[in-house]
Amino acid sequence: MSDDLEQRLPRAFHRDALPPAPASLIDALERVPDAPVRARRRADRRSFLGFVAAAALVATVGALAISGGSPRPGPVTPTLVPSPSSDTMRLRLEYQVLPSGAAIPTESDRAAVISVLEARLASTGVVDATVTADGTDRIVVELPGVADAEPIRRLIGQVGAVEFVPLGSSELTVGQRIGPGRFAALFTGDQIASASAAADQDGRPAIEFTLKPEGTRMFAEYTSQNVGSYFAITIDDVVITAPIIQNGIADGEVQITGGGAGGFDATEAAAIVAILDSGPLPFPIREMASQPADASPSAP
Amino acid sequence: MPLLALPVDARPADIAGPEADHARRSDFLAAARPNLDRAYRLAGLLLADAHEAEDAVQDALVIAWRSFESLRETDKFDAWFDRILVNGCRDRLRRRNVVRFIPMDADMDHAGRDPFQAFIERDALLAGLAALTPDERIVLTMRFWADLPLEAIARRLDWPLGTVKSRLHRALERLRRTLDHEGREAAR
């Protein structure tokens, strides 16, 4: 019997061809060496997708709760940007605006990208950053010297497409990426009227947002009819929260908190708020080589 | 969020100087590129999920890049990378608790399905992998898909040879029991 299995298994494994590495992975490999060294604080909690594919806002796993209303929010200062440090230089980040599917970005599309980036930077408290068009398809972001520009980079590089996704009985992990076509979104981030960083009743960082009337109606209808089901909010197809619906949420006022030992920290809450508030980039961008702004230019 | 956390002592990779960094970079890419298809397929078979496989390979690439200096012989990249990748896949499988293979169902619409899940479900024998523990699935895949001898699996995964043997034995036993059970169910 065992012998038989040992003969059959290789044949079964090699009967059909398996797919090759997708283009996105080949592309990601080439960018791996460009990614800065980072610490894996909890390697089991998140995906590196975020910075190799400039896609993920990854939060921690925890018992997450989604709730209507705004229970005693305390002010939380966005802390995405560390204080400028005297021994760091102004950082120059250069991006290429990429086509989206068959759509080629025009000059006004690039201007729209720039204004989203400006909004994101402003909402996270960066002082003295500039976002300018350069050449035919480039955008240059210059930042005051910061000890750690990585959070900013990630914030800038994300498309930031937000979706509200009913999951039914599928329990997803925060940080997990939802493949295309796996779940249909109920609505997208364009139904968010405003978002802000807050604190939950225990003082932990939370994110609050208000939905527009149409989003409010859809969310109320869905949540009231699907108590006990899972529901995810995703950014660029990565789950930022995937709680169980505990009650119908009628008023479009939503607070997301991370529970358990994890939860959002103030930094990630600020980044998520910036994305929710600024809306998505109309076209994806790719970071080109970056260097300190006052470094002498080197020959290509 | 973990992604936003960076300790102050973490430094950019190019601190060693641009030339050394350039050489390290091209060595790494030259070693990694030819292994990408294989790595993706291995992760896909272990995870039965193309998207998760892609994530797992990306994670492994980042770890590999960061510790690339520790690899003395770049021609052993594939074996070295296998260990990183398989350990990552194993973590992912364990986090799932249950492996999400959907049983064969003739009525199921196969259009648009995950390619790895579809591959596995097309064959009753492979569909039986769902019943295995992560380690059992790993050893079975390394043995019969990657076609590696037991000693090579032990070296690659840094498992004792005896552990490889016992896990493979248990995997085959469990797979046989699963198939027998399904065969009896089908014959009813």
Query: In 10 A of CB A208, how many CB atoms?
Result: 23
Contacts of A61 (CB under 8 A, 6+ apart): A45, A173, A174, A175, A260, A262
Confidence band of A262 (pLDDT split at 50, 70, 90)? low
Q: How many separate helices (H) and strands (E) can be counted in chain B?
A: 9, 0
Query: What does residue B141 show for φ and ψ, rounded to 5 degrees?
Result: -70, -40
> Per the structure block, which two tokens stand in for A221?
């209808």
Structure tokens at A96: 């290429």
Helices then strands, counting H and E runs in chain A, come out as 7, 13
Q: Taking CB atoms and an 8 Å limit, are B3 and A42 in contact across chains?
A: no
* Partner-chain contact A33 B54, CB within 8 Å: no
How confident is the model at residue A277, as a pLDDT? 85
Of A98, A97, A60, nearest in space to A272 by CA: A60
Query: Phi and psi for A209 in degrees, rounded to 5?
Result: -145, 160
From residue B152, give the alpha-carbon distance in Å to each of A123, A281, B167. 54, 48, 15
pLDDT in the model for residue A290: 54
pLDDT tens string B69-81: 888 777 789 999 9
Residues of A in contact with B119 (CB under 8 A): 16, 18
C-alpha B97, offset from chain centre: 16
CA contacts within 13 A on the Cβ side of A93: 24
Average pLDDT over residues A273-295: 77
Of A18, A24, A271, the CB nearest to B4: A271
Residue in A with minimal Cα distance to B27: A33
- The SS3 assignment for A162 reads strand
A107 three-state secondary structure: helix
Minimum Cα–Cα distance from B64: chain A residue? A32
B74-77: long-range pairs with CB below 8 Å, 24+: B74/B27, B74/B30, B74/B31, B77/B31, B77/B32, B77/B35
Give me chain B's average pLDDT, please. 80
Q: A182: Cβ–Cβ under 8 A, 6 or more apart, which residues?
A: none
In terms of average pLDDT, the best of A148-152, A276-280, B63-67, B166-170 is B166-170
Q: What is the three-class DSSP state of A94?
A: strand
Distance (Å, rounded) from C-alpha B165 to C-alpha B162?
A: 5
* 3-state class (DSSP) for residue B175: helix
Low-confidence ranges of chain B (pLDDT < 70): 1-17, 95-112, 185-186, 188
pLDDT digits 0-9 by tens, A181-231: 788 999 999 999 988 887 766 667 778 888 999 999 999 898 888 877 888
Confidence of residue A3 (pLDDT cuts 50, 70, 90): low
Residues of A in contact with B173 (CB under 8 A): 2
Note the pLDDT of residue A218: 92
Give per-residue pLDDT as tens, B117-128: 888 888 888 988
Nearest to B37 among A21, A39, A151 (CB): A21
- For residue B112, the chain A residues in CB contact (below 8 A) are 181
| pLDDT tens per residue, range A108-138 | 899 999 999 988 888 777 777 889 998 888 9
At A56, the pLDDT band (50, 70, 90 cuts) reads very low
Smallest CA–CA distance from B32 into chain A, residue:
A29
pLDDT tens-digit map of A225-260: 887 788 888 988 888 888 777 777 878 888 776 533
Q: Cα(A42)–Cα(A38) distance, rounded to whole angstroms? A: 12
DSSP for residue B4 = G
SS (H, E, C) B111-158: CCCCHHHHHHHCCHHHHHHHHCCHHHHHHHHHHHCCCCCHHHHHHHHC
What was the pLDDT predicted at B106? 33
| Cα nearest neighbour of A43 on chain B | B2
CA distance B104 to B118: 10
Strand order through the sheet with A192-199:
A65-68, A253-257, A205-211, A192-199
Nearest to A28 among B5, B24, B58 (CB): B58
